[in-house]
A and B are shown apart, each in its own frame.
Chain A
Amino acid sequence: MTAMTRILIRHEFILGILFVIVLFAMASQNDRFLTTANLLNQARLMTEVGLIAIPMTFVIVTGGIDLSVGSILGLCAILLGVFWQNLGLPLPAAIGLSLAAGTAAGFANGLIVTRFRVPPLIATLATLALYRGLAEGISQARSVRGYPDWFAVLGRGDFLGIPTQLWLFALVAAVGIFVLRFTTFGRTTYAIGNNEAAAEFSGLPVVRTKLLIYTASGFISALAAIVFVSRVSTTRSDMGSGIELEVITAVVLGGTSIFGGRGMVIGTLIGLCLMQILQNGLSLSGVRGDGTTVVIGAVLIVAVLISNLLSRFSSD
């Protein structure tokens, strides 16, 4: 098989085509869709899911899963408000502490998965409940408002004509692409997902790599919390609930195998954009929210089916 056909049947390539088709279909349906203002606004809206999807790609490539990201987001959002308003800390310090808390939460996930060998699905299902419970306990159903203006720049402002948080997202995505694709860390991530025992027998730092990945997942979830709070300029304890499903959908749609060992950050990015324009385009055309969910589910199934079919030709 030539290199060209190999590229043509890559999941990421098929997804890219699908993306272009959907883009044109949506644009022809509605003339408010394909405008710079709308697209930039959509990019702003998808940043939180997108940020978390980057470390989630790593997690899923190792053959794991992190269901607790939404709860970490909620917890960190609450902590930000509490540190700033109730404890009277300066906002930058509150941000720093909140980021530290998210990192610690991710590290705890990593410890449970690696040291105690609890399957990631179960470990993070438990911490999903645990972290959300903590968030609700701390917030006592009160919300925090009145953040200073400078803070809103992150979530609602622009930098060089592009939403501020998009720069942050681009940075995280670039780091993700680079690390997974070119470094020993990325190599180890794939090796773990494909054959963990062989990775261990090769002297690769399996435990440390997994620990770092879950920790990064916690840290980025906290970062997403800061962006989220800044964008909506209020803090509530139910923030980010259910976001893990959107994140996982984007990653899997992007061609990462849920069994591990296969996947790329680029794929995740395309998957994410595809999901976002579907949501936006459909709602502009007056389709209700649950209708949109059905469409996204269908697209997910079709994308996975096509790539399975094609990978049969490529495997031998």
Chain B
Amino acid sequence: MTPILELKNITKAFGPVKVLTGVNFDLRPGEVHALMGENGAGKSTMIRIAAGDHRAEEGEIRLDGDVRRFAGPREAQAEGIIVVHQELLLFPALSVAENVFLGHQPKTAAGLVDWGRMRREARDLLDRLDCPNLDVDQKVSRLSVADRQRVEIARALSRNARVLIMDEPTAALAEADVKRLLEVVRRLRSEGVAIVYVSHRMNEIFEIADRVTVLRDGVSVGTKPIAEVTEASLVSMMVGRDIHQLFPKEDIPRGEKRLELRSVSLAGVVEDISFDLHAGEILGIAGLVGSGRTELAQTIFGVTPATSGEILIDGKPQKIASVREAIDAGIAYVPEDRGTHGIIRAQPLRENVSMAILDRLTKFSVVDTGREQSLASDAIKRFSIRARDARQRVGQLSGGNQQKVVLAKWLATDPKILILDEPTRGVDVGAKTEIHRLMGDLAKKGLAILMISSELPEVLGMSDRVLVMREGRLSAIVDRKDASPAAVGAAMMQGRREPARAGAAR
């Protein structure tokens, strides 16, 4: 069978940095082909080349066996090659239907936009994706991440995708939403769409993929049918060594009380939350997307100050009315949405890493660039961030490396209390274990850690206690020894009427 899409011997460099060297990849109709590799291995770059966003220096792209050169993404789209990007690229102020048909709206005979048809067809597409309760007139800015992604996929389908490329589609999704997404992928496959699926999550790969290709340092290490690989063999293909321990959780004696919440509320969003967090402890927060986990974290961090209740730090009541006050009180927050809250893409790595402690790096309010530079070089070494140098713009780094920059930025504040909101989102297996180990080290040094994660295994594997949230309230606090998937899952779902209809994302 001729592959529908084939990349042969692709080489690509950004300036002096070679990102891809002689990469081969082929995609057959009606298959799900997983693409795996460490952060910065070149997955997104390979995809961009296939989609006409970047031009390769060497190599060829074949479509149905014919060599093609795409001058830009529009040409690739016209051939039915559609990408759902790692960073969703929707227009928040436009409606769902407008986003789906942006750039190729159905027209009336008079050449005007045919609104009726556009809304109807958007409706049909969304029904095909099994989301009957997503309103086509809703503004995209009011949708949850999962729903936004459905809109992206609908948009791909509206262009009659023959090749659908999904770059880490599940990185931002909660478990239930992942299931629905995989359903959709299966359905598209059975309709004959060829799918490239990038993910760092092993279980998804084994559930959905037919074949898998691994990239390492810009070289394709191999392509195998999924039946011929195991989790361990994939990992060693990706990182070139074996990783033994998945959740390196150590037992650390609980220190004194660092943070205490006494019936803290943010009117209408989170209600009546009380818990305490000790030095050396990792407290996991589980819950569905929209259960108020992020909102709670941002309340503690002073982004949306609490409307009632009390926050105590080291036993003393502390007023936290702004982010500045939270940082000064020793709190750091690694946000969930790194693109909008974590990094400044247009600015160099150096300036991003120093951003939260700028006031400590100054002499007479002049930034001490020498110290800033060494801070950044240390961060690059400590977190093994793949960057050209500290002057590289953060927007040019791969997704996982951007996440490491955000971590470095917040650890630079030398916090007593560290709030991590989806800390390993979009991070590869190797780096994920590294981050987990780092969390352990930090806890050992006496940090109190609050970790939000949508990955249940991560929460269960890393936490001393698990705090479960549901609809803005605390539904349970489970000790490590009692924390089974069933117990935590039940507390997450209890009494929910309508499944997986997440609240609006910030």
Contacts and interface: CB of A to CB of B under 8 A. Distances in A.
A308 interface: no
B346 A194 contact: yes
Contacts of A158: none
Contacts of B343: 195, 198
6 contacts: A1-B15, A183-B362, A184-B358, A191-B344, A191-B351, A204-B355
A261 B365 CA distance: 20
A228 interface: no
Given A194-B344, A202-B409, A203-B322, 20 more contacts: A1-B16, A182-B366, A182-B367, A183-B365, A184-B365, A187-B351, A191-B347, A194-B347, A195-B340, A198-B342, A198-B343, A200-B303, A200-B323, A201-B335, A202-B323, A203-B326, A204-B355, A204-B358, A262-B346, A316-B396
Interface of B: 14-16, 54, 303, 322-324, 326-327, 333, 335, 340-347, 351, 355-356, 358-359, 362, 365-367, 396, 409
Contact of B341 (A185, A198, A262): A198
A205 interface: yes
B323 A185 contact: no
A184 B346 contact: no
Contacts of B367: 182-184, 187
Chain A interface mostly: helix
Contacts of B340: 195, 197-198
Contacts of B322: 203
A316 B335 contact: no
A219 interface: no
A184 B359 contact: yes
Contacts of B365: 183-185
A316 B48 CA distance: 13
Contact of A187 (B15, B303, B341, B358): B358
B345 A195 contact: yes
Contacts of A199: 344, 355
Interface string A167-202: 000000000000000111101101100110111111
Contacts of A194: 344-347
Contact of B355 (A182, A191, A205, A262): A191
A1 B16 CA distance: 7
A195 to B, nearest CB: 5
B417 to A, nearest CB: 14
Interface string A198-215: 111111110000000000
B303 to A, nearest CB: 7
Contacts of B347: 190-191, 194
Given A184-B365, A191-B355, A194-B347, A201 B327 contact: no
A26 to B, nearest CB: 36
Contacts of A187: 351, 355, 358, 367
Given A191-B347, A195-B340, A202 B355 contact: yes
A190 to B, nearest CB: 7
A201 B346 contact: no
Given A191-B355, A201-B341, A316 B14 contact: yes
B356 A203 contact: yes
A201 B323 contact: yes
Interface string A29-58: 000000000000000000000000000000
A197 B362 CA distance: 23
Contacts of B335: 201
Interface in A77-91: none
A187 B326 CA distance: 21
Q: Size class of A's contact patch?
A: 20 to 34
Nearest to B340: A197
Contact of B344 (A1, A182, A198, A316): A198
Contacts of B358: 184, 187-188, 204
Nearest to B14: A316
A303 to B, nearest CB: 21
B403 to A, nearest CB: 14
Nearest to B323: A203
Interface string A250-283: 0000000000011000000000000000000000
B180 to A, nearest CB: 29
A69 B303 CA distance: 33
A184 B356 contact: no
A314 to B, nearest CB: 9
Contacts of A203: 322-324, 326-327, 356
Contact of A195 (B14, B54, B344, B396): B344
A262 B345 CA distance: 12
Contact of B333 (A182, A201, A204, A316): A201
A309 B70 CA distance: 21
Contact of B342 (A188, A191, A201, A261): A201
B366 A201 contact: no
A13 B396 CA distance: 24
Contacts of B362: 183-184
Contacts of B326: 203
A204 B341 CA distance: 12
Contacts of A191: 344, 347, 351, 355
Contacts of A200: 303, 323
A303 B261 CA distance: 57
B107 to A, nearest CB: 31
A170 B15 CA distance: 39
A111 B362 CA distance: 28
A1 B341 CA distance: 30
Nearest to A184: B358
Contacts of B303: 200-201
Nearest to B369: A182
B256 to A, nearest CB: 26
A184 B345 CA distance: 18
A280 B294 CA distance: 59
A155 B11 CA distance: 63
A184 B360 CA distance: 10
Nearest to A192: B344
A194 B393 CA distance: 12
Contacts of A316: 14-15, 54, 396
A205 B324 CA distance: 8
Nearest to A5: B15
CB-CB nearest 5 A-B residue pairs: A203-B323, A202-B355, A201-B341, A203-B327, A203-B324
Contact of B346 (A182, A202, A261): A261
Contacts of A204: 355, 358
Nearest to B338: A198
Nearest to B326: A203
